[in-house]
Amino acid sequence: MTFRPSSSPACRSARAEAGRKRAPMHDIAATPPDLFDAERQALAAARAVHAAGAGDAMAAHAALGELLASYDRLLRETRRLVRRSDRAELEMTRLNQRLQDLAGELEYRATHDPLTGVLNRAAIIDVANRQFLSHDLALVVLDIDHFKRVNDSFGHPAGDQVILGVVDCLQHAAPPGAQIGRVGGEEFTVVLPGWSMERTAQIAQLVRRAIEGRDFALPDGSRVTASFGVSWMPRGACFDLAYALADEALYAAKRGGRNQVARAAGPGLSAGAAEASPARLVAAQASGA
Protein backbone atom coordinates (compact mmCIF):
# COMPACT_ATOMS: atom_id res chain seq x y z
CA MET A 1 0.00 0.00 0.00
CA THR A 2 1.32 3.47 -0.90
CA PHE A 3 0.65 6.35 1.48
CA ARG A 4 0.56 9.94 0.29
CA PRO A 5 1.48 12.90 2.46
CA SER A 6 -1.60 14.22 4.22
CA SER A 7 -2.99 17.66 3.64
CA SER A 8 -4.68 17.71 7.02
CA PRO A 9 -4.21 20.84 9.16
CA ALA A 10 -2.23 18.94 11.78
CA CYS A 11 0.20 17.51 9.24
CA ARG A 12 0.51 20.81 7.37
CA SER A 13 1.19 22.57 10.64
CA ALA A 14 3.85 20.07 11.64
CA ARG A 15 5.55 20.29 8.24
CA ALA A 16 5.44 24.07 8.29
CA GLU A 17 6.95 24.15 11.76
CA ALA A 18 9.70 21.79 10.65
CA GLY A 19 10.29 23.88 7.53
CA ARG A 20 10.71 27.05 9.56
CA LYS A 21 13.46 25.35 11.53
CA ARG A 22 15.49 24.47 8.43
CA ALA A 23 18.67 26.45 8.02
CA PRO A 24 18.83 28.86 5.07
CA MET A 25 21.05 27.90 2.13
CA HIS A 26 23.86 30.22 3.12
CA ASP A 27 24.09 28.48 6.52
CA ILE A 28 24.57 24.96 5.10
CA ALA A 29 28.32 25.21 5.23
CA ALA A 30 28.19 26.32 8.87
CA THR A 31 25.48 23.86 10.03
CA PRO A 32 25.75 20.26 8.84
CA PRO A 33 22.51 19.01 7.24
CA ASP A 34 20.30 16.69 9.27
CA LEU A 35 20.43 13.34 7.48
CA PHE A 36 17.16 12.32 9.12
CA ASP A 37 15.24 15.55 8.65
CA ALA A 38 12.35 13.84 6.81
CA GLU A 39 12.03 11.25 9.57
CA ARG A 40 12.05 13.97 12.20
CA GLN A 41 9.27 15.80 10.37
CA ALA A 42 7.16 12.64 10.07
CA LEU A 43 7.61 11.90 13.75
CA ALA A 44 6.63 15.46 14.66
CA ALA A 45 3.50 15.16 12.53
CA ALA A 46 2.54 11.86 14.14
CA ARG A 47 3.03 13.36 17.58
CA ALA A 48 0.84 16.30 16.65
CA VAL A 49 -1.97 14.01 15.48
CA HIS A 50 -1.60 11.88 18.59
CA ALA A 51 -1.82 14.97 20.78
CA ALA A 52 -4.96 16.10 18.95
CA GLY A 53 -6.79 12.92 19.99
CA ALA A 54 -8.80 10.46 17.93
CA GLY A 55 -11.06 13.02 16.27
CA ASP A 56 -9.46 13.06 12.81
CA ALA A 57 -9.12 9.48 11.52
CA MET A 58 -7.93 10.63 8.10
CA ALA A 59 -5.18 12.74 9.65
CA ALA A 60 -4.13 9.82 11.84
CA HIS A 61 -4.08 7.49 8.85
CA ALA A 62 -2.01 9.92 6.82
CA ALA A 63 0.40 10.57 9.70
CA LEU A 64 0.86 6.83 10.15
CA GLY A 65 1.57 6.49 6.43
CA GLU A 66 4.20 9.20 6.56
CA LEU A 67 5.71 7.62 9.64
CA LEU A 68 5.90 4.22 7.93
CA ALA A 69 7.44 5.69 4.79
CA SER A 70 9.97 7.64 6.84
CA TYR A 71 10.82 4.60 8.91
CA ASP A 72 11.44 2.65 5.70
CA ARG A 73 13.72 5.42 4.46
CA LEU A 74 15.46 5.46 7.85
CA LEU A 75 16.25 1.76 7.51
CA ARG A 76 17.64 2.26 4.01
CA GLU A 77 19.73 5.22 5.13
CA THR A 78 21.01 3.29 8.14
CA ARG A 79 22.05 0.40 5.92
CA ARG A 80 23.81 2.82 3.59
CA LEU A 81 25.65 4.44 6.48
CA VAL A 82 26.64 1.05 7.87
CA ARG A 83 28.02 0.02 4.47
CA ARG A 84 29.90 3.30 4.23
CA SER A 85 31.25 2.79 7.73
CA ASP A 86 32.38 -0.73 6.82
CA ARG A 87 34.16 0.57 3.73
CA ALA A 88 35.81 3.32 5.78
CA GLU A 89 36.92 0.77 8.36
CA LEU A 90 38.38 -1.47 5.65
CA GLU A 91 40.19 1.50 4.13
CA MET A 92 41.52 2.51 7.56
CA THR A 93 42.74 -1.04 8.13
CA ARG A 94 44.43 -1.02 4.73
CA LEU A 95 46.09 2.34 5.46
CA ASN A 96 47.26 1.15 8.88
CA GLN A 97 48.77 -1.95 7.31
CA ARG A 98 50.50 0.19 4.70
CA LEU A 99 51.89 2.44 7.44
CA GLN A 100 53.22 -0.62 9.26
CA ASP A 101 54.78 -1.89 6.03
CA LEU A 102 56.41 1.49 5.39
CA ALA A 103 57.72 1.62 8.97
CA GLY A 104 59.19 -1.85 8.49
CA GLU A 105 60.79 -0.83 5.20
CA LEU A 106 62.29 2.28 6.80
CA GLU A 107 63.65 0.25 9.71
CA TYR A 108 65.14 -2.30 7.31
CA ARG A 109 66.80 0.40 5.23
CA ALA A 110 68.17 2.03 8.37
CA THR A 111 69.77 -1.20 9.62
CA HIS A 112 70.80 -3.13 6.48
CA ASP A 113 73.39 -2.71 3.78
CA PRO A 114 71.60 -1.92 0.50
CA LEU A 115 73.87 -4.06 -1.69
CA THR A 116 74.18 -7.24 0.34
CA GLY A 117 71.18 -7.19 2.67
CA VAL A 118 73.31 -7.93 5.74
CA LEU A 119 73.38 -5.60 8.73
CA ASN A 120 75.15 -2.28 8.29
CA ARG A 121 77.92 -1.06 10.57
CA ALA A 122 75.70 0.74 13.10
CA ALA A 123 73.30 -2.18 13.34
CA ILE A 124 75.97 -4.87 13.84
CA ILE A 125 77.62 -2.75 16.54
CA ASP A 126 74.27 -2.44 18.30
CA VAL A 127 73.67 -6.20 18.04
CA ALA A 128 77.10 -7.00 19.49
CA ASN A 129 76.79 -4.56 22.37
CA ARG A 130 73.35 -5.92 23.29
CA GLN A 131 74.66 -9.49 23.18
CA PHE A 132 77.57 -8.55 25.44
CA LEU A 133 75.06 -7.67 28.16
CA SER A 134 74.30 -11.36 28.71
CA HIS A 135 76.80 -13.45 26.73
CA ASP A 136 80.47 -14.04 26.09
CA LEU A 137 81.01 -13.24 22.44
CA ALA A 138 83.35 -14.18 19.61
CA LEU A 139 83.91 -11.87 16.67
CA VAL A 140 85.19 -12.56 13.17
CA VAL A 141 86.49 -9.72 11.02
CA LEU A 142 87.38 -10.43 7.39
CA ASP A 143 88.73 -8.31 4.59
CA ILE A 144 88.80 -9.28 0.89
CA ASP A 145 92.39 -9.48 -0.30
CA HIS A 146 93.46 -7.10 -3.09
CA PHE A 147 89.90 -5.92 -3.59
CA LYS A 148 91.03 -2.58 -4.99
CA ARG A 149 92.68 -4.45 -7.86
CA VAL A 150 89.32 -6.01 -8.75
CA ASN A 151 87.58 -2.62 -8.87
CA ASP A 152 90.44 -0.94 -10.73
CA SER A 153 90.87 -3.75 -13.28
CA PHE A 154 87.27 -4.80 -13.95
CA GLY A 155 85.07 -2.00 -12.62
CA HIS A 156 82.74 -1.61 -9.67
CA PRO A 157 80.02 -3.94 -11.01
CA ALA A 158 82.57 -6.78 -10.92
CA GLY A 159 83.57 -5.68 -7.42
CA ASP A 160 79.92 -5.76 -6.32
CA GLN A 161 79.61 -9.33 -7.60
CA VAL A 162 82.68 -10.33 -5.59
CA ILE A 163 81.18 -8.76 -2.47
CA LEU A 164 77.88 -10.59 -3.02
CA GLY A 165 79.76 -13.86 -3.51
CA VAL A 166 81.68 -13.39 -0.28
CA VAL A 167 78.44 -12.67 1.60
CA ASP A 168 76.94 -15.82 0.13
CA CYS A 169 79.88 -17.82 1.50
CA LEU A 170 79.41 -16.20 4.89
CA GLN A 171 75.69 -16.90 5.00
CA HIS A 172 76.15 -20.56 4.10
CA ALA A 173 78.82 -21.10 6.76
CA ALA A 174 77.39 -18.98 9.57
CA PRO A 175 75.68 -21.07 12.28
CA PRO A 176 72.19 -20.30 13.66
CA GLY A 177 72.27 -17.25 15.92
CA ALA A 178 75.19 -15.63 14.13
CA GLN A 179 74.79 -12.10 12.78
CA ILE A 180 76.67 -10.81 9.73
CA GLY A 181 77.45 -7.15 9.16
CA ARG A 182 79.22 -5.08 6.55
CA VAL A 183 81.50 -2.70 8.41
CA GLY A 184 83.41 -1.27 5.45
CA GLY A 185 83.64 -1.42 1.67
CA GLU A 186 85.15 -4.92 1.52
CA GLU A 187 85.22 -5.64 5.25
CA PHE A 188 82.69 -7.78 7.13
CA THR A 189 82.19 -8.99 10.67
CA VAL A 190 80.36 -11.96 12.15
CA VAL A 191 78.99 -11.83 15.71
CA LEU A 192 78.81 -15.21 17.46
CA PRO A 193 77.24 -15.03 20.95
CA GLY A 194 78.35 -17.80 23.30
CA TRP A 195 80.95 -19.23 20.92
CA SER A 196 84.49 -20.08 21.95
CA MET A 197 87.59 -18.82 20.19
CA GLU A 198 88.37 -22.35 18.92
CA ARG A 199 84.96 -22.99 17.36
CA THR A 200 84.84 -19.49 15.88
CA ALA A 201 88.25 -19.95 14.25
CA GLN A 202 86.92 -23.16 12.68
CA ILE A 203 83.96 -21.26 11.22
CA ALA A 204 86.36 -18.64 9.86
CA GLN A 205 88.38 -21.40 8.21
CA LEU A 206 85.25 -22.78 6.55
CA VAL A 207 84.45 -19.36 5.11
CA ARG A 208 88.06 -18.83 4.01
CA ARG A 209 88.08 -22.11 2.11
CA ALA A 210 84.67 -21.40 0.57
CA ILE A 211 85.84 -18.02 -0.75
CA GLU A 212 89.14 -19.45 -1.97
CA GLY A 213 87.39 -22.24 -3.88
CA ARG A 214 84.60 -20.15 -5.37
CA ASP A 215 84.60 -19.15 -9.02
CA PHE A 216 83.80 -15.43 -9.06
CA ALA A 217 83.87 -15.37 -12.87
CA LEU A 218 86.38 -12.53 -13.10
CA PRO A 219 87.46 -11.74 -16.67
CA ASP A 220 91.05 -12.88 -16.09
CA GLY A 221 89.96 -16.04 -14.27
CA SER A 222 91.73 -14.98 -11.07
CA ARG A 223 90.65 -16.26 -7.68
CA VAL A 224 89.49 -14.22 -4.71
CA THR A 225 90.74 -14.73 -1.17
CA ALA A 226 90.14 -13.08 2.19
CA SER A 227 92.04 -12.61 5.43
CA PHE A 228 90.42 -13.13 8.85
CA GLY A 229 90.91 -11.99 12.42
CA VAL A 230 89.11 -13.68 15.32
CA SER A 231 88.66 -12.35 18.86
CA TRP A 232 86.81 -13.47 21.98
CA MET A 233 85.64 -11.34 24.90
CA PRO A 234 83.70 -12.19 28.07
CA ARG A 235 80.27 -10.92 28.96
CA GLY A 236 80.24 -7.24 29.85
CA ALA A 237 82.79 -6.22 27.21
CA CYS A 238 81.91 -4.08 24.19
CA PHE A 239 82.12 -4.19 20.41
CA ASP A 240 84.89 -1.61 20.16
CA LEU A 241 87.30 -3.68 22.24
CA ALA A 242 86.42 -6.98 20.56
CA TYR A 243 86.70 -5.37 17.13
CA ALA A 244 90.06 -3.76 17.93
CA LEU A 245 91.48 -7.17 18.89
CA ALA A 246 90.02 -8.92 15.84
CA ASP A 247 91.21 -6.13 13.57
CA GLU A 248 94.72 -6.41 14.99
CA ALA A 249 94.66 -10.15 14.25
CA LEU A 250 93.33 -9.45 10.76
CA TYR A 251 96.31 -7.27 9.93
CA ALA A 252 98.63 -9.90 11.34
CA ALA A 253 97.06 -12.28 8.81
CA LYS A 254 97.60 -9.70 6.06
CA ARG A 255 101.24 -9.25 7.03
CA GLY A 256 101.68 -13.01 7.14
CA GLY A 257 100.77 -13.38 3.47
CA ARG A 258 96.94 -13.04 3.34
CA ASN A 259 94.35 -15.80 2.87
CA GLN A 260 94.78 -16.73 6.54
CA VAL A 261 92.87 -16.85 9.83
CA ALA A 262 94.57 -15.28 12.85
CA ARG A 263 93.42 -15.34 16.46
CA ALA A 264 93.74 -12.25 18.59
CA ALA A 265 95.72 -12.23 21.82
CA GLY A 266 93.48 -13.20 24.74
CA PRO A 267 91.81 -10.49 26.85
CA GLY A 268 93.74 -11.64 29.92
CA LEU A 269 97.17 -10.84 28.46
CA SER A 270 99.04 -7.80 29.68
CA ALA A 271 99.47 -4.84 27.34
CA GLY A 272 103.15 -5.70 26.85
CA ALA A 273 102.38 -9.30 26.00
CA ALA A 274 99.68 -8.27 23.59
CA GLU A 275 102.03 -5.87 21.86
CA ALA A 276 104.75 -8.49 21.62
CA SER A 277 102.39 -11.12 20.29
CA PRO A 278 99.33 -9.42 18.82
CA ALA A 279 98.01 -12.54 17.13
CA ARG A 280 98.63 -16.22 16.67
CA LEU A 281 98.22 -17.57 13.16
CA VAL A 282 96.13 -20.72 13.12
CA ALA A 283 96.01 -21.29 9.40
CA ALA A 284 98.28 -20.06 6.75
CA GLN A 285 98.18 -19.83 3.07
CA ALA A 286 95.89 -21.44 0.60
CA SER A 287 98.02 -24.59 0.69
CA GLY A 288 97.05 -25.10 4.34
CA ALA A 289 100.68 -25.14 5.49
Residues known to be catalytic: 186
Identity at 5, one-letter amino acid code? P
Which one-letter amino acid corresponds to residue 102?
L
Q: What is the rounded radius of gyration, in angstroms, for the C-alpha atoms of the chain?
A: 39
116: exposed, middle or buried (Cβ count in 10 Å: 0-12, 13-18, 19+): buried
Query: What letter represents residue 51's amino acid?
Result: A
